Amino acid sequence: MKKSIKLIALFVAFQLSMVSIFAQNKAQQIEQLLSKYNEYGQFNGSALVAENGKVIFKKGFGSANMEWNIPNQPDTKFRLGSISKQFTALLIVKLAEEGKIKLDVPITTYLPDYPKENGDKITIHHLLTHTSGIPNYTNAPNFFKDKARNPYTPAEFVKTFSSLPLEFAPGEKFNYSNSGYFLLGYIIEKITGKTYEQYLQETIFTPLKMVNSGYDHSDVILKNRAAGYERKGKLISNAPYVDMSIPYAAGSLYSTVEDLYLWDQALYTNKLLSEKSMESLFKPYIKVGDASYGYGWFVDEFDNGDKGKLKMVGHGGGINGFNTIISRIFTDKNLVVLLNNTGGTVLGEMTDAIQAILYNKPFEQPKKSLALELLDVYTEKGAVAGTETFKKLKNDPSYAIKEDDMNRVGYQLLQTGKKKEAIEIFKINVETFPKSGNVYDSLGEAYLADGDKKLAISNYKKSVELDPTNENGKKVLDELLKNKAK
């Protein structure tokens, strides 16, 4: 009997040691992966990865402050952008659980001053799922130039979009809208009699001991806060200022990778919500491409080969100088958090690779972004030289054409008046990603800016054909066709 107990003990010890070795090996692979992305100028931030609910990797890469050469660390605070939406959604569901709000009644029930023509048709559920039809305020022409730097009260800012025509009948389709989540924050204030920030703090951050998270204010001295930067080719500059009253409940929070791990773990418990209410956050209410949207979360599946598909939820975020992502696989309590402070980058690509490492699956090795090389050439030497450089480098295995990077570079050229050069970049994207509606939309915009309405119409048509949710593209196309008919 004693021998068998010893054998069992030895076997358990062996199993535990093997688990530790595997975790260590995975952590090394993750570090090598992110170090290479950092070397290629595609990741400058902090990362945390948990497997089976246990942290196996956390580390900072690059600088939190480049002027002072202060490194990013696991406790560095980053602006979250739209990851904030999942916190707002939980607060709303909490109020519903307490009977203080109903999700299926018109928003005018709680906002009596909201224009009734639209407000009587829109429910809280529509706001939570981006199905309200309210235009996204960040898509407004010259938004960042005219409004983003100015402080507003929630009541004042709601008036900037509340009377705009709806883009579609509420509930009819999905169209991502920061306006909807801004309204949810305002509704929270009306119901609770507290500021969104106060209610968030006492309902989530304090109970979960998320002491390094909060509503960001530019004027507050905040220890360990990362500065935000933006990359233009190989050049890095300070990100433009945005007043934090603007993103509000749609994107004004800050946190650390360590605090977001506390958040992740709490979502497996009933500390904040009942089991039924918690499940409501992650239901696939409406299709969005190959995924769906819940309440503040995209709902998707991770293909684990022979072992089947695993439920995965996540969300990305972007705000001046910052790019973020959180990805959670329920079955194994696996978590990936990446917070970056050099603007837009390929965090989705990195997350896919890390999830593959966790499941011992093959993954794409990091490659240099061809877009970053091309921007400098197109900017300094023009369209012909840029296209020649593309032809030379496109078959180089150390480079990759990354859709989002190419799109960002195209818009950077467009914003500096280099229309012909922007068109060439967008054409490369169209050739490389012919099934993406977004690349045709961008090319259409560049042709329109260059005065070629015929090619603009052609590309906008292709965009909305490939992506029927492209409401802005439809609007521009309708306008172009109307003017053509006159």
Max mean pLDDT among 93-97, 308-312, 420-424 falls in 93-97
* pLDDT tens readout for residues 1-59: 444 555 444 454 444 444 444 566 999 999 999 999 999 999 999 999 999 999 999 99
* pLDDT tens readout for residues 121-165: 999 999 999 999 999 999 888 888 888 999 999 999 999 999 999
* pLDDT at residue 486 in the model: 64
Whole-angstrom Cα distance, residue 301 to residue 85? 21
Confidence of residue 482 (pLDDT cuts 50, 70, 90): confident
Question: Quick one: average pLDDT of 426-434?
Answer: 95
* pLDDT at residue 166 in the model: 96
**CA dist 478 → 106, 273, 459 (Å):** 30, 45, 13
pTM assigned to the model: 0.89
* pLDDT at residue 147 in the model: 85
Per-residue b/e over 332-348, b at no fewer than 16 CB within 10 Å? bbbbbbbbbbbbbbbbe
* pLDDT tens readout for residues 335-390: 999 999 999 999 999 999 999 999 999 998 999 989 988 998 999 999 999 999 99
Three-state SS string over the chain comes to CHHHHHHHHHHHHHHHHHHHHHHHHHHHHHHHHHHHHHHCCCCCEEEEEEECCEEEEEEECCEEECCCCEECCCCCEEECHHHHHHHHHHHHHHHHHCCCCCCCCEHHHCCCCCCHHHHCCCEHHHHHCCCCCCCCHHHCCCHHHHCCCCCCCHHHHHCCCCCCCCCCCCCCCCCCCHHHHHHHHHHHHHHHCCCHHHHHHHHHHCCCCCCCCEECCCCCCCCCECCCEEEECCEEEECCCCCCCCCHHHHCEEECHHHHHHHHHHCCCCCCCCHHHHHHHCCCCEEECCEEECCCCEEEEEECHHHCEEEEEEEEEEECCEEEEEEEECCCCEEEEEEECCCCCCHHHHHHHHHHHHCCCCCCCCCEEHHHHHHHHHHHHCHHHHHHHHHHHCCCCCEECCHHHHHHHHHHHHHCCCHHHHHHHHHHHHHHCCCCHHHHHHHHHHHHHCCCHHHHHHHHHHHHHHCCCCHHHHHHHHHHHHHHHC
* pLDDT at residue 22 in the model: 55
Pairing of strands 70-71, 368-369: unpaired
Whole-angstrom Cα distance, residue 460 to residue 467? 10
When the pLDDT of each residue in the chain is averaged and rounded to a whole number, the result is: 92
Question: Quick one: average pLDDT of 409-434?
Answer: 93
The count of other CB atoms within 10 Å of the CB of residue 474 is: 17
Whole-angstrom Cα distance, residue 307 to residue 291? 20
Residue 324: CA atoms inside 13 Å, Cβ hemisphere, count? 30
**CA dist 385 → 85, 233, 356, 381, 390 (Å):** 43, 16, 38, 6, 9
Q: What region, left, alpha or beta, does residue 275 occupy, with left being phi > 0 and alpha being psi -120 to 50 degrees? A: alpha
Decide if 14 contacts 22 (C-beta within 8 A): no
Task: Name the strands in the sheet holding 214-215, side by side, starting at the edge strand that comes first in the sequence.
Answer: 78-79, 253-255, 214-215
* pLDDT at residue 301 in the model: 92
**CA dist 144 → 58, 250, 366 (Å):** 34, 16, 32
* pLDDT at residue 4 in the model: 53
Considering only 75-89, 236-250, 393-407, which range has the smallest mean pLDDT? 393-407
Decide if 271 contacts 88 (C-beta within 8 A): no
**Selected residue with higher pLDDT from 15 and 228:** 228
Confidence of residue 442 (pLDDT cuts 50, 70, 90): very high
* pLDDT tens readout for residues 305-319: 777 899 999 999 999
Q: Which domains does the chain carry?
A: 81-358 (3.40.710.10), 368-485 (1.25.40.10)
Decide if 425 contacts 433 (C-beta within 8 A): no
Burial of 301 (0-12, 13-18, 19+ CB in 10 A): middle
